Amino acid sequence: MTVGGLIRANLFRNKKRTFLTVASVAVAFFLYGVLRSVTTTLDAAAAVGSEARLVTSNASGITFTLPEAHANRLRSVPGVTSVSWSNWFGGYYRDPQDFFAQFAIKAESYLAMYPEIQITAGDREAFLRERTAALVGVGLLEKYGWQVGQTITLKGTIFSGDWEFVIRAAYTPAEAAYGDENMFFHYEYLYERTNGQITPGWFVVALDRPESAADIAATIDAQFKNSTAPTKTETERAFQAGFVTMWGNIGFLVRAIGTAVFFAILLVAANTMMMAVRERIGEIAVLKTVGFTDGAVAGLVIVESLLIALVGGALGLALAWSTFQGRNPMQAFFPGNGVTTGTTLLGFGLALLLGMISGAVPALQSARLSVTSALRRVA
Amino acid sequence: MSSPTSVATDTLVEIRGLSKSYWRGSEEIRVFADIDLDIHRGEFLALMGPSGSGKSTLLNIVAGLDHPTSGSVVVEGQDIARMSSRQLATWRSTHVGFIFQFYNLLPVLTAAQNVELPLLLTHLGKKERREHVLAALDLVGLSDRAEHFPGQLSGGQQQRVGIARAVVSDPTIILGDEPTGDLDATSGSEVLDLLERLSGEFGKTILMVTHDPNAAARAKATMHMDKGVLTR
C-alpha cells in the first residue's frame, strides 16, 4: 500500500456518497461549460464583424428600413469605395424550429464586399443569373440534406406566404466564426414579391481606409440628420455587437447563474468532506499516533477533496464539450460555438479552487485534532 | 524487530518532576504533580489505578501524544516534553508502538495494510515494507489473515493486528492503553501472551495501563496511581 492507496481507500469508503458528490460536481461543471460557452460564443459573434466596413441603419432601430435613394448619397461620401444593402427575411423551413438566418442582399455588390463568403466562380455566376436563386452555407446543405439545384420553400414570418428558392450555390466561410448556416438571396426577388413595398434594411459601406471609419460614419450620419430617415452608422463589428445585445445581458445572467451554481456545489462538496472527516476522527487520531504529522493528515484530506472536485470537473467539462460536438442548434446563430480552451482551463482552475476551499475547513479540523481527546470521543 | 536480548537495567525513560493540570475556566484541575519515574530497557510494566487517576494521561505523555504542564520526559536522551507537535509526530513514528483498547484499525484497509501504516512514513521500499508486515503478522499468528478486513476478524484477532501494527516499525517502547479491556478472557490471555513474548523473547520495553489485576500480574512489575500519586 502507498499513501495514494490510503487516499483511494478513503474515497471508496462510502462509494455511494463519493459517486453522488462527484456527480453533483460534474453536473455543476457541465452547466459551467455550457453557460460559459454561450458567453464566449456571444463575444465571438460580436467580434466577427469587420472594422473595415460600416453599417448604416435607421437611427430609429434596425427594424426600420431606409430609402434606397440613400445608397447614391452614401457612394458620394469621400472614403467610401462601395455600397450594398441587405434585409432580414425571417422565414423558416418546414416548421418554426427549422429556423436559420436568411438575408435578402444586393447580390453583386454584397458578394464583392465579403471575402468571408467563399464561393466558386461558376456558382457565383449561377447565383447572380437567376432571380429566385439562393446561396446557402455548406452547413445548411448538410443539416437539411439539400443539394445544389434543389428547390426549397420557406415560410415567411415578416413577409408572409410561401417563398420558393432554387439553391444555385453553396459557400464555405473563410473563418468558422462567420458561420456556414446562412442563406442569401436576391433583394430584387423580395422587392418584387412585396410589390415594391420593401426598402433596404441596412446599408453596408466599404471604406478605402479603415482608420478613417469614425470620421466617415460621422459624415454619413450628419448628411442624413435632417432627412426623413436619419441614420446611425457604426463599424460592422459594433453593429454586430449591438445585434448581440438584443439577446439581453446574457453575459451577466450566465455569470450570475454560474456563480450561484459554484457556491451551491462548494457547499455540497464541503459538507461531504466535513462528514467524511467527522466520521473518521478516530482514524485520524490513529494516523497521528503512528507518526503522521498535522500537515500530513491535512494533506490527505485536501488531496481527497481535490480528487473529488477534479474528477467531477473533468467529467462535467467533457460532457459539455461533447454537447457541442457535431451540429448543434446554436450553430445557426452562433457559429463556431463550443467549449474553448480558455473555458476548459478556467474550469480546471475552478475545480482546483473548489477542491481547495471545500477541503480547507475539514483539513484544518484534522490538523488541529487532539489525539487524546479524539480517542476519548470514539472510545 | 531487534534480536532477542536479556532484560537490561539501563534507563530508557527518565521522568522527572512531571506535572499535568487542566484548566476549567480559572479553576486548575491537577491530574498529577511532581512524578518521578524510571522505566528500564526491556521492562514490562503494568500501571493500575482507578478511573480518573491520571494513568492514561501519563501514558499519553510518555507516548508523546500529550504535553506535560511541567517536568521532563527523557527517552533515550531526548526530552520529548520540549518537542513541538511536529517533532513529536516524527519521534512517535520511530520510537512508539501504541496498542489501543478498542484496536482502532482502519476499516477500509486490510489487516496487512493496517499494519503497514507506520511504515508509510519510513524510507522502506514496497517489497521491504511487505516483508516487515508479514513478519509482524506472523509474530501475532495472523499471516493467513493478511488480506482480511477488520470487519472479518474477531476482537482478539483485531487486537493482535493492532499489536502487529505497534511492533512493525520496531519501536523503542510499546505502550498499551488497556489492551485487553475490550476482550474476553481467552482473547485477553492471548494478547497478554503476546506482550509477554515481546518482552521476554524480544526484549521490548512495554508500559501497559490496565484495570485488570490478572493482566497486571502478567507484567514484570506493577505501579499504582491514585489521585495523582504514583507508587511502585
Statement: residue A335 has pLDDT above 70: no
User: Across residues B28-52, what is the average pLDDT?
Assistant: 92
Q: Least CA distance to B93: which residue of chain A?
A: A291
Please report the pLDDT score of residue A336 as a whole number.
Answer: 58
Locus of grid cell 508523546? B64
Instruction: With beta carbons under 8 A apart, name residues in chain B contacting A289.
Output: 63, 65, 92, 96, 98
Asked whether residue A361 is assigned to any structural domain, the reply reads yes
Kindly indicate the confidence band of residue B3, based on its pLDDT and cuts at 50, 70 and 90.
very low
H/E stretch holding A364 reads helix A341-368
Residue contact B63–A292, C-beta within 8 A: no
Asked whether residue A176 is assigned to any structural domain, the reply reads yes
Choose among B107, B118, B126: nearest Cβ to A291. Answer: B118
Domain boundary, last residue among A165, A193, A228: A228
Average pLDDT, chain B: 90
Please report the pLDDT score of residue A20 as a whole number.
Answer: 92
Span A22-75, pLDDT tens digits: 999 999 999 888 888 877 777 776 666 677 899 999 999 878 999 999 999 999
Please report the pLDDT score of residue B83 as a whole number.
Answer: 94
The rounded Cα B186 to chain-centroid distance in angstroms is 21
**3-state SS string for A286-318:** HHHHCCCCHHHHHHHHHHHHHHHHHHHHHHHHH
Statement: residue B47 has pLDDT above 60: yes
The rounded distance, in Å, linking the Cα atoms of A331 and A377 is: 60
Q: Residue A316 is part of which domain span?
A: 3-45+248-378
Please report the pLDDT score of residue A244 as a whole number.
Answer: 65
| Whether residue A210 is found in the same domain as residue A97 | yes
Q: Least CA distance to B126: which residue of chain A?
A: A1
Please report the pLDDT score of residue A264 as a whole number.
Answer: 87
| Whether residue A203 is found in the same domain as residue A263 | no
The rounded distance, in Å, linking the Cα atoms of B217 and B207 is: 13
Q: Which three cell numbers stand for residue A369?
A: 485534532
**3-state SS string for A155-184:** EECCCCEEEEEEEEEEEEECCHHHCCCEEE
Q: Hey, is the C-beta of B117 within 8 angstroms of any chain A C-beta? A: yes
Residue contact A3–B85, C-beta within 8 A: no
Choose among A6, A289, A293: nearest Cβ to B65. Answer: A289
Please report the pLDDT score of residue A328 as a whole number.
Answer: 58
Span A95-146, pLDDT tens digits: 888 888 899 999 999 999 999 999 999 999 999 999 999 999 999 999 899 9
| Whether residue A215 is found in the same domain as residue A296 | no
Q: Which three cell numbers stand for residue B189?
A: 490471555
Residue contact B104–A371, C-beta within 8 A: no
- DSSP letter at B66 equals S
Asked whether residue A243 is assigned to any structural domain, the reply reads no
| Whether residue A266 is found in the same domain as residue A349 | yes
Query: Residue A245, by phi and psi: left (phi above 0), alpha (psi -120 to 50) or beta?
Result: alpha
Q: Hey, is the C-beta of B106 within 8 angstroms of any chain A C-beta? A: yes
Question: Cβ distance A294 to A288 under 8 Å?
Answer: yes
Strands B205-209 and B44-48: parallel
Q: Between A326 and B21, name the one with better pLDDT.
A: B21
Statement: residue B216 has pLDDT above 90: yes
- DSSP letter at A36 equals H
Q: Between A350 and A244, name the one with better pLDDT.
A: A350
Asked whether residue A236 is assigned to any structural domain, the reply reads no
The rounded distance, in Å, linking the Cα atoms of B221 and A322 is: 72
Residue among A10, A280, A290, A375 with most chain B CBs within 10 A, to mutate: A290
Kindly indicate the confidence band of residue B4, based on its pLDDT and cuts at 50, 70 and 90.
very low
What is the count of residue pairs from A and B with beta carbons less than 8 Å apart? 76
Domain boundaries, chain B: 42-66+89-231
Asked whether residue A128 is assigned to any structural domain, the reply reads yes
For residue B75, report the phi and psi dihedrals to the nearest 5 degrees. -115, 120
Span B188-204, pLDDT tens digits: 999 999 999 999 888 99
B42-66+89-231 maps to CATH 3.30.230.10: no
Residues 305 to 344 of A: which have CB under 8 A from any B CB? none
Q: Which three cell numbers stand for residue A376?
A: 476519548
* Count of CB atoms situated within 10 Å of the CB of B189: 16
Q: Which three cell numbers stand for residue B196?
A: 509477554
Please report the pLDDT score of residue B2 as a whole number.
Answer: 43
The rounded distance, in Å, linking the Cα atoms of A273 and A280 is: 11
Residues 138 to 197 of B: which have CB under 8 A from any A CB? 165
Asked whether residue A119 is assigned to any structural domain, the reply reads yes
Burial of A95 (0-12, 13-18, 19+ CB in 10 A): exposed
What is the torsional sign of CA A255, A256, A259, A265?
Answer: negative
CA dihedral (A74, A78, A80, A84) in degrees, to 10, reads 10
Strands A231-235 and A53-58: antiparallel
Statement: residue B7 has pLDDT above 50: no
Kindly indicate the confidence band of residue A338, based on its pLDDT and cuts at 50, 70 and 90.
confident
Residue type, B143: S
Bridge partners (DSSP) listed for residue A54: A205, A235
- DSSP letter at B218 equals T
Beta strands in chain B (DSSP E): 11-24, 27-40, 44-48, 70-75, 78-79, 96-99, 173-177, 205-209, 221-226, 229-231
Asked whether residue A91 is assigned to any structural domain, the reply reads yes
**3-state SS string for A84-138:** EEEEECCCEECCCCCECEEEEECHHHHHHHCCCEECCHHHHHHHHHCCCEEEEEH
Please report the pLDDT score of residue A324 as a whole number.
Answer: 80
Kindly indicate the confidence band of residue B71, based on its pLDDT and cuts at 50, 70 and 90.
very high
Q: Hey, is the C-beta of B123 within 8 angstroms of any chain A C-beta? A: no
Q: Hey, is the C-beta of B100 within 8 angstroms of any chain A C-beta? A: yes
Alpha-carbon distance B227 to nearest alpha carbon in chain A (angstroms): 20
For residue B36, report the phi and psi dihedrals to the nearest 5 degrees. -120, 135
The rounded distance, in Å, linking the Cα atoms of B119 and A3 is: 10
User: Across residues B11-15, what is the average pLDDT?
Assistant: 93
Count of domains for chain A? 2
Please report the pLDDT score of residue B6 as a whole number.
Answer: 41
Span B132-165, pLDDT tens digits: 999 999 999 999 999 999 999 999 999 999 999 9
| Whether residue A215 is found in the same domain as residue A307 | no
The rounded distance, in Å, linking the Cα atoms of A149 and A4 is: 64
Statement: residue A331 has pLDDT above 60: no
**3-state SS string for B130-147:** HHHHHHHHHHCCCHHHCC
Choose among B60, B101, B109: nearest Cβ to A379. Answer: B101
Please report the pLDDT score of residue A277 as a whole number.
Answer: 84
B91-124 burial: b if 16+ Cβ within 10 Å, else e: bbbebbbbbbbbbbbbebbbbbbbbbbbbbbeee
Q: Least CA distance to B147: which residue of chain A?
A: A1
Q: Least CA distance to A6: which residue of chain B?
A: B109
Asked whether residue A329 is assigned to any structural domain, the reply reads yes
Instruction: With beta carbons under 8 A apart, name residues in chain B contacting A290.
Output: 92-93, 98, 117-118, 121, 165
User: Across residues A148-168, what is the average pLDDT?
Assistant: 94
Residue contact A289–B92, C-beta within 8 A: yes
Question: Cβ distance B232 to B216 under 8 Å?
Answer: no
Instruction: With beta carbons under 8 A apart, name residues in chain A contacting B92.
Output: 289-291
